[in-house]
């Protein structure tokens, strides 16, 4: 059966919107519905129901040991889900909710054990998107919602990406246009002291530390780490386009581009169809060396001088190579500070550690 494509136009009133009501009914019946958040599109289901949550894992082909983030619309709903609410949680949600910050707290056991992958903790966030909030209010349930893509592929930042992956496997997608942040939420574990960042995301470590002081970072996130990650989902290959992706080692920007270009030319001479990920600032350097007989597929991922724009376009760029004939993709790299930590985490995973 085809999935519903519920188009919500910007500015339409959302209270009692017929498509929101229809989507909420599907959720209440235990079905799965994709919806926009400020980070990426999520695939939601009733977080209290094993049957409903299991449908998320089936639709995505997601490994069952990878827990789901629980989405709520109001801090008050946290009380239904957790054993206790530490002061730090309130401080952080007062500062960043609604927004791209997930807090891992001690669960009270009410959430489906499939959603928490059997852990004693639960990851919770309040998304900052009017359509997500309208859906959450309308169904009145906390929604377990991972990104709405087939496991392993880049996360969806448009409803079209969701349907590309999941058409026929979910009840429908609420289409609220392109998402804004473009990379997922930061996951912060508050069950340990000091709080530990398990996944870098839309709220930077620097921003969090301004509110609560020192944090730790899961050692598994450090480059070339050999530790098993504490956030179960972080160990899987993720975000990967079909063609192998290689990142250029960090150097000065000029050296990095020169290295990427010479590698791209070498590969082209060997008959490879080369894809290149750059930004508006670097595009012409590669275009100037293009060859009409075997052209580079050059994708511009935002502006390096505005790292938020790189985050916003990253998944679309990674995904768009699957509609081309490239046999290998080479990407520029970015500084690790601020949102750059999340961008580089996703690029490193998409590349599976491959470095030029
Ligand atoms: P996704 O839903 O695809 O954005 O992935 C959710 C991320 O949050 C994964 O990396 C999970 O491992 C992580 N996560 C969710 N709940 C927990 C939890 N209770 N403890 C640790 N990590 C969690
Ligand atoms: Mg995901």
CA–CA distance, 68 with 185 (Å, rounded to integer): 12
- Is the domain of 198 the same as that of 251? no
Q: How far is the CA of 186 from the centre of ligand 1 (A)?
A: 10
Closest ligand 1 atom to residue 230 Cα is 21
- Residues 186, 315 within the same domain: no
Q: Are residues 258 and 215 in the same domain?
A: no
265 with 208, same domain: the answer is no
186 and 96 fall within a common domain: yes
Bridge pairing between strands 216-217 and 196-199: parallel
By most ligand atoms within 8 Å of CB, the mutation choice from 187, 237, 345 for ligand 1 is 187
Residue 221 or residue 263, greater confidence:
263
Report the number of distinct structural domains present in the chain: 2
- pLDDT at position 274 is 98
Q: For residue 313, what pLDDT band results from cuts at 50, 70 and 90?
A: very high
* pLDDT, tens only, 73-113: 999 999 999 999 999 999 999 999 999 999 999 999 999 99
Asked, for residue 50, whether it belongs to a domain, the answer is yes
- Whether 226 is in a domain gets the answer no
CATH number of the domain enclosing 341: 3.40.50.11030
Average pLDDT of 116-132?
Answer: 97
* 203 and 251 belong to one structural domain: no
SS3 75: helix
User: How far apart are alpha carbons 337 and 75 in whole angstroms?
Assistant: 29
Radius of gyration of the chain from its Cα atoms, rounded to whole angstroms:
20
Q: Quick one: pLDDT at residue 226? A: 47
Between the CA of 135 and the centroid of ligand 2 the distance, in Å, is: 20
Closest atom of ligand 1 relative to the 184 alpha carbon: 4
In a domain, 235, yes or no: no
Residues 216 and 256 both lie in one domain? no
Mutate which of 45, 63, 66 for ligand 1 pocket (most atoms within 8 A of beta carbon): 66
Tell me, in angstroms, the distance from the centre of ligand 1 to residue 96's CA.
18
Query: Which atom belonging to ligand 1 lies closest to the Cα atom of 146?
Result: 2
Ligand 2: distance of its center to the CA of 90 in Å?
26
Band (pLDDT 50/70/90 cuts) for residue 263 is very high
129 plus 258 within the same structural domain:
no
Q: Say which ligand is closest to the CA of 106.
A: 1
Confidence of residue 230 (pLDDT cuts 50, 70, 90): low
Question: Which protein residue has the closest C-alpha to ligand 1 atom 4?
Answer: 146
Determine the distance separating the centroid of ligand 1 and the alpha carbon of 66, expressed in angstroms: 6
Question: 43 and 171: one domain?
Answer: yes
Is pLDDT above 90 for 223? no
Separation of alpha carbons 24 and 22, rounded Å: 5
Residue bearing the CA closest to ligand 1, atom 3: 146
Higher-confidence residue: 126 or 237?
126
Asked if residue 37 belongs to a domain, the reply is yes
**Residue 186: per-residue pLDDT:** 98
Give Cβ neighbours of residue 267 (< 8 Å, ≥ 6 apart).
Answer: 274, 328, 330
Measured N-to-C along each axis, helices 340-350 and 307-320 cross at an angle, to the nearest 10 degrees, of 20
Tell me which of 40, 61, 121, 123 to substitute to probe ligand 1's pocket, judged by most ligand atoms within 8 Å of the beta carbon: 123
Within a domain: residue 238?
Answer: no
What's the token pair of residue 353?
A: 């550690």
Q: Which amino acid residue places its CA nearest to atom 5 of ligand 1? A: 146
Given 171, 186, 221, which residue is the final one in a domain?
221
- Report how far residue 135's alpha carbon sits from residue 172's, in angstroms, rounded to the nearest whole number: 13
Task: Of 246, 242, 239, give the one whose Cα is nearest residue 322.
Answer: 242
Per-residue pLDDT tens digits for 267-299:
999 999 999 999 999 999 999 999 999 999 999
Report yes or no on 97 lying in a domain. Answer: yes
Pocket (CB within 6 angstroms of ligand 1): 66-69, 104, 116, 119, 121-123, 146-147, 184, 187, 198-199, 231-234
Question: Domain containing 65: what range?
Answer: 4-221
pTM of the model: 0.94
Higher-pLDDT residue of 234, 266:
266
Q: Same structural domain for residues 273 and 328? A: yes
Sheet of strand 216-217, all strands in order from the earlier edge strand to the far edge:
4-7, 172-175, 33-36, 41-46, 143-144, 69-71, 121-125, 101-106, 186-189, 196-199, 216-217
Name 122's bridge partners.
Answer: 105
Considering the chain, what is the average pLDDT of its residues? Answer: 95
147 and 83 co-located in one domain: yes
Q: Based on the domain organization, do 8 and 121 belong to the same domain?
A: yes
Last residue of a domain, one of 186, 221, 256: 221
CATH number at residue 167: 3.90.870.10
Q: Quick one: which atom of ligand 1 is closest to the CA of 185?
A: 4
Mean local confidence (pLDDT), 216-239: 69
CA of 277 to the centre of ligand 1 (A): 28
In this predicted structure, the answer to whether residue 234 has a pLDDT above a threshold of 80 is no
- Indicate whether 19 belongs to any domain: yes
Q: Give residue 68 CA to ligand 1 midpoint distance, Å.
A: 5
> What pLDDT score was predicted for residue 251?
80
Band of residue 236 on the pLDDT scale cut at 50, 70, 90 = low
Using pLDDT thresholds of 50, 70 and 90, give the confidence band for residue 225.
very low
Which atom of ligand 1 is the closest one to the Cα of 122?
Answer: 19
The mean pLDDT value for 30-35 works out to: 98
Closest residue by Cα to atom 21, ligand 1, is 231
Q: Which atom of ligand 1 lies at the shortest distance from residue 187's CA?
A: 8
More confident residue, 228 or 34: 34
């Amino acid at each position: 059966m085809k999935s519903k494509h519920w188009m919500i136009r910007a500015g339409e009133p959302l209270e009692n919107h017929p498509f929101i009501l229809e989507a909420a009914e599907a959720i209440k019946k235990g079905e799965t519905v994709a919806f926009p958040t400020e980070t990426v599109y999520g695939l939601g289901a009733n977080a209290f129901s094993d049957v409903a949550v299991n449908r998320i894992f089936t639709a995505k082909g997601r490994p069952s040991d990878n827990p789901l983030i629980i989405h709520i619309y109001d801090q008050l709903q946290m009380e239904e889900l957790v054993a206790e609410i530490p002061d730090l949680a309130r401080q952080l949600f007062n500062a960043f909710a609604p927004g791209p910050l997930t807090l891992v707290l001690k669960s009270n056991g009410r959430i489906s054990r499939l959603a928490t992958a059997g852990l004693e903790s639960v990851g919770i966030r309040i998304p900052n998107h009017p359509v997500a909030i309208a859906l959450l209010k309308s169904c009145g349930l906390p929604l377990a919602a991972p990104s709405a893509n087939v496991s392993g592929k880049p996360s969806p930042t448009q409803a079209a990406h969701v349907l590309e992956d999941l058409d026929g496997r979910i009840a429908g997608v609420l289409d609220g246009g392109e998402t804004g942040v473009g990379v997922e939420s930061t996951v912060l574990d508050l069950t340990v002291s000091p709080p530990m960042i398990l996944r870098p995301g839309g709220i930077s470590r620097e921003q969090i530390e301004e509110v609560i002081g020192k944090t730790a970072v899961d050692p598994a996130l450090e480059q070339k780490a050999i530790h098993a990650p504490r956030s179960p989902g972080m160990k899987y290959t993720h975000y990967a386009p079909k063609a192998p992706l290689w990142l250029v080692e960090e150097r000065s920007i000029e050296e990095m581009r020169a290295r990427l270009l010479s590698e791209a030319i070498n590969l082209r001479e060997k008959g490879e169809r080369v894809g290149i990920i750059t930004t508006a600032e670097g595009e012409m350097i590669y275009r100037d060396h293009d060859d009409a007989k075997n052209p580079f597929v050059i994708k511009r991922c935002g502006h390096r001088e505005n790292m938020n724009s790189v985050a916003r376009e990253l998944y679309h760029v990674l995904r768009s190579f699957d509609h081309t004939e490239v046999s290998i993709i080479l990407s520029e790299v970015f500084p690790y500070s601020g949102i750059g930590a999340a961008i580089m985490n996703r690029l490193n995973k998409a590349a599976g550690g491959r470095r030029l």
